[in-house]
Amino acid sequence: MKIVVLDGYTINPGDLSWKSLEKLGECNIYERTAPEELAGRAEDADALLTNKVCITAEAMDKLPKLKYIGVLATGYNVVDIEAARERGIVVTNIPAYSTPSVGQMVFAHILNITQRVGHYADEVSDGKWSENPDFCYWNTPLIELLGKKIGLIGLGQTGYNAARIGLGFGMKIWAYTSKSKLQLPPEIKKVNLDSIFRECDIISLHCPLNDETAEIVNASRLSLMKPTSILINTGRGGLINEQDLADALNQKKLYAAGLDVLSTEPPRIDNPLLKARNCFITPHIAWATTAARERLLLIMCENLEAFINGKPINNVAG
């Protein structure tokens, strides 16, 4: 079997090993692949592994040997699933590999905003504490999480994980979810979307990006939020209307936002959130801990080996 990895750098920039994959067939591993390079590199491939390189119906038509596409992520919108199904191409994804790491990032942003550890480390380095007449020094609000309401929009595995961490801080957990009340544990309260925006102190986005959820955070919903509230997004950038959020932050309609994703990545230099007040952005790294990437590579090989053995798992093309 000929296996081609189209964009392996972000998954394994050199700190992990491809040996398990190389045992499954002849491998060509590329750090990055531009759209115009796809056909040439994948021409003889039986199996393609992709993270962000798009595999369209047109691309599939140029790859007559292709039998398998492994998406190296949980979301699989980079592949035309219907076209793959029509051509009998199996498409797999990698579910839940980054759930613990994403939960960490949700609360890394929450704790950064509420405790401002990085800010105070810089202040101390700049001599502000040394120059202070008192034994302690602070110049921002310091916010306790105990008793605060966190509203989770979406309650899949990452949402549930965030809920468990929130409970550990003594927070009240509200959720907007398609699950019924009977499916939820008693410590999670099912509420409607407007209630999340009106009443929660922190809102965290955990829903998929689709036609129904695109720009679910917009000027109308932001206007419902309390000026002390915080928005967190470790899901997809397209869940937020970025200009509306920048305006709301700059007008102090909410206190702060912590974002690990943006609508275009890397962001355009004129993205309004880059300069917005109290907007803290990390460069799409919630998924990228060493442990999460190790799990990704393990599941990637399990998926491909199962396909080779005629028993596909995690098949999203049905």
Per-residue CA distances from 67 to 16, 58, 60, 272 (Å): 27, 15, 10, 43
Catalytic residue from among 206, 284, 293, 295:
284
- Does 109 participate in catalysis according to the annotation? no
37 among known catalytic residues:
no
Which listed residue (109, 236, 293, 295) is catalytic?
Answer: 236
Q: How long is the chain? A: 318
117: how many CB neighbours lie within 10 A of its CB?
A: 11
119 is catalytic: no
Choose the catalytic residue: 22, 144, 265, 277: 265
Q: Interhelix angle for 99-115 vs 117-125, to 10°? A: 50
Active site residues: 236, 265, 284
